[in-house]
Structures are given as C-alpha cells and as structure tokens.
Amino acid sequence: MRLHTLEQLGQNGGLEGARVLLRLDLNCPVKPDPENEGAYVVSDDTRVRAALPTIRYILEQTDKLAVISHFGRPKGKYDLKFSLSPVAKCLAAHLGKENEVLFVQDSVEEPAFHLTRKSRDQLVLLENLRFHPGEKGNDKEFSKSLCEGFDFYINDAFGACHRSHASTVGMPEHMGRGKIGVGKLVEKEISALEPLLRGPEIPYVVAMGGSKVSDKIEVLINVLEKCTHLLIGGAMAYTFLKANGIDVGTSRVEEDKLELCLQIQKKASERGVKLLLPQDHVVAAEFKEDSPAEITSGAMIAPGKMGLDIGPQTRMQYKSIIASAKNVFWNGPMGVFEWESFAGGSRAVAEAMAETSASTVVGGGDSVAVVNKCGLADQMNHVSTGGGASLEFLEGKVLPGLWVMRDY
C-alpha cells in the first residue's frame, strides 16, 4: 500500500505557510498531580516523545499547526479525567515552548483554522475528540467542521489507525487526495512491522503474554505462519496449561478457550513451531501486591495458589531462545509486572531482548511500560506505540486509518 509521506507533501515548498491538521495519538497514562489537587500529570510520555519528529518537521515548514487526538473513553461527553490538558503541558515542556502551546477546550465554538490564523508561532492543541459523539460515530458533519480551512491533513496516530472514527477516516475522506499524508511515526511503525508480516529472517521468536487468550487469538494464529518459536507467558499460559491437563490452582483460566489452546498447539506442531509453556511459576495465595511469593518446582500449581509470573527456570529457557534469534517480537507481560515480586519474568524477557543481536520489536501496550520501567526502551530496534493497532496489523488485517490514506 503506497502512502504519501510528509516529505512528499513538502516537496517544492508544498507545506510552507500551509494550515496543517495533525492527528496524533496522545492517549498517555496520567496520574494525580501531587502539587495541584484535582489535576493530573502525564506519567508516561512515550507517545508524546514519539510524535515530536513529525511536529518539529511541520513547524519547520509552517507556523499554522493544529493537533487533534483522543484520550481514554469518556463516552461522548466532557470528563475532567480525560482532558488533554496535562498532555498539553507535557508537549509544551518537550518542545521548549511552555507559552506557545495553545490548548483549546472547545473547538466547535471557534474553528481550529481560525485559531491557527490568530495564534502565529503557536501550536494549537484541541481538547479530547471523544468528548464529541461525532468522533466515534464517524459523523460526516463533525469531520467537515474540524477540517474546515485546512490545507493538509496528516495522520501520525498509528495507535488509532485500526479505528473507523471521524479523525482517522472521516477527515481524510473529506480532505481528499493530494491533501492527506502520514507522519514519521506511522512510517516508522510500518517499516518495523511489515517485515514481520511478510516473513522475517529466522529464527523468529514471538513472546506472547497478557491476561487472555481471547485477546490474542488472531495474532497467535497468524504468527504461527511465520515464527519458529512461540513463548507463552502471563495469565494466558494457565489456560494453555490446564488444556494440557496440568493443575493450575486458582490461577486465571478461560474455561471456554481450552479447546482453542489445543488447536493452537496442534497448528504449531504441524508448522514445526516450538510452542513453549512455563515450566515453573511464581505463585501466591492471593492477588495482592504484598502476598508472599513462592516458586514452584514444576509446571503444576498447588490448590489454593495462583500463578502471577513465570519462574526462574522458564526465564532462563526463554532468555536462551531469544539470545539465538534473528528476529524477536514481544507483546504482553509475563506476569503482574506492576508488582516487584512478580515482575522478574517480564524483566527477564526485556533484558534478553536488549542483549540479543536480533532485530527486536516490542508490540505496544503493557510491554512498552515494561521496557520503559526497566530503562531498556532505547536498546530495542522498535518500540511500537500501537497496542491494538500493532496486533491487528500483524494479524494481516487492513487498518481503516491506513486504507483511507492509500495513494492509488
């Protein structure tokens, strides 16, 4: 699929002085501001930092830039918890222009292109698009109203490209060919993920964690066509183990996915893929951060205990396999990484990926939080901001936000 890039749109001064509407994914985690009661601050600025190359490139061409994004799931109405105000401050700090990011609470009352005209040398950031029901509903009038007066629409929100919303589909449809393009982050994401979809150099190791098999069915099936090793961790491992007749105590299990797990294992066997399950665990009696952790001597978990992380033996095995890989893709933590007693498995995978000479891709979501927490993000070849979009891309699905941007 051919997509127009920023550089192509900027050829022969195409972006100079133009009014540019930039769709970003600024859906950043926030936490209460300790210095300002009732306010919030960004707790993980990964997505803000990822957007900076595109923002800076555009600002070199024009001073008429409006940025739009979603944040959380406010259900079509204003909710302070989902305001982009903390993100505006974070963005300003990164740009070094604390007084030059104009945050607009209501873009409907005053169209964005008017604001770009009035506020030269300022970047305009509009409030959360999802405060308007027209965003998720892909309302044509809502799309048209936000696009009014702009010369170009740029999509650099890879993490939202799997959504058919007004800001990802409706707006580029309204703008039309020749006035739309993708930003540097989208280019980077596609460049990193496409080789994994086409067929990467082997050994190709996929480490898959997280809580549910049901969340990863399609991508599990699709990666089996390409990978040589599939390393299973997280709570989804207990469903696989129980499907194989192994007692898992009170661990989280999707009872309706037991047969599916066996089918996935059968497919792996038929494809010659080595599908590995945890051989030991870190367990506890309760799902609590301070619950005493114990290490099992094997794959079985005793009654009254629940698995909360992969054990030391499994970590060593997984690290060894990653060390010999040519390509590694990781999505989903190996345990409850937020709690130190149960973070060792996820840390082990992150460290193994940092140490290997293989090409390494971290597939968004909580896996990004793990590598950031470990301080290893810079040692990965690519850390995706995509989350669900990354997985759907690797499932082979057509992402609506990219399809609408295609250049015939």
| Beta strand 359-362 pairing with 327-331 | parallel
Q: Quote the pLDDT of residue 316.
A: 98
Q: Quote the pLDDT of residue 109.
A: 62
Q: Quote the pLDDT of residue 11.
A: 77
Domains of the chain, with CATH numbers? Answer: 6-187 (3.40.50.1260), 199-394 (3.40.50.1260)
Q: Which of 303, 286, 383 is nearest to 341 (CA)?
A: 286
Q: How many residues are there in the chain? A: 408
| 53: CB partners within 8 A, 6+ apart | 184, 185
Q: Quote the pLDDT of residue 399.
A: 93
Is residue 252 part of the annotated active site? The answer reads no
Q: Catalytic residue among 19, 23, 47, 89, which? A: 47
Q: Quote the pLDDT of residue 315.
A: 98
Is residue 198 part of the annotated active site? The answer reads no
SS3 string, 140-183, reads HHHHHHHHCCCCEEEECCHHHCCCCCHHHHHHHHHHCCCCEEEC
* Spatial separation of the C-alpha atoms in residues 388 and 159, rounded to whole Å: 7
Q: Quote the pLDDT of residue 115.
A: 60
Q: Catalytic residue among 49, 97, 144, 212, which? A: 212
Is residue 271 part of the annotated active site? The answer reads no
| 147: CB partners within 8 A, 6+ apart | 21, 153, 171, 174, 175
Provide the token pair at 339: 């709690």
* Digitized pLDDT (tens) for each residue of the chain, 408 residues in all: 688 888 888 776 788 989 999 999 998 888 887 888 778 888 888 889 999 999 999 999 988 899 999 998 888 888 888 899 999 999 999 988 655 788 887 666 655 655 665 555 578 899 999 999 999 999 999 999 889 889 999 999 999 999 999 999 999 999 988 899 999 999 999 999 999 988 899 999 999 998 888 888 888 888 899 999 999 999 999 999 999 999 999 999 999 999 999 999 999 999 999 999 999 999 999 999 999 999 999 999 999 999 999 999 999 999 999 999 999 999 999 999 999 999 999 999 999 999 999 999 998 778 888 998 899 999 999 999 888 888 888 888 889 999 999 875
Q: Quote the pLDDT of residue 112.
A: 63
> What is residue 290's DSSP assignment?
T
3-class secondary-structure state, position 319: helix
Is residue 365 part of the annotated active site? The answer reads yes
Q: Catalytic residue among 76, 267, 388, 397, which? A: 388
Q: Catalytic residue among 365, 386, 387, 401, which? A: 365
Q: Quote the pLDDT of residue 53.
A: 95
| 370 torsion bin: left (phi>0), alpha (psi -120 to 50), beta (else) | alpha
* Spatial separation of the C-alpha atoms in residues 295 and 344, rounded to whole Å: 12
Amino acid at 380: M
Q: Quote the pLDDT of residue 37.
A: 79
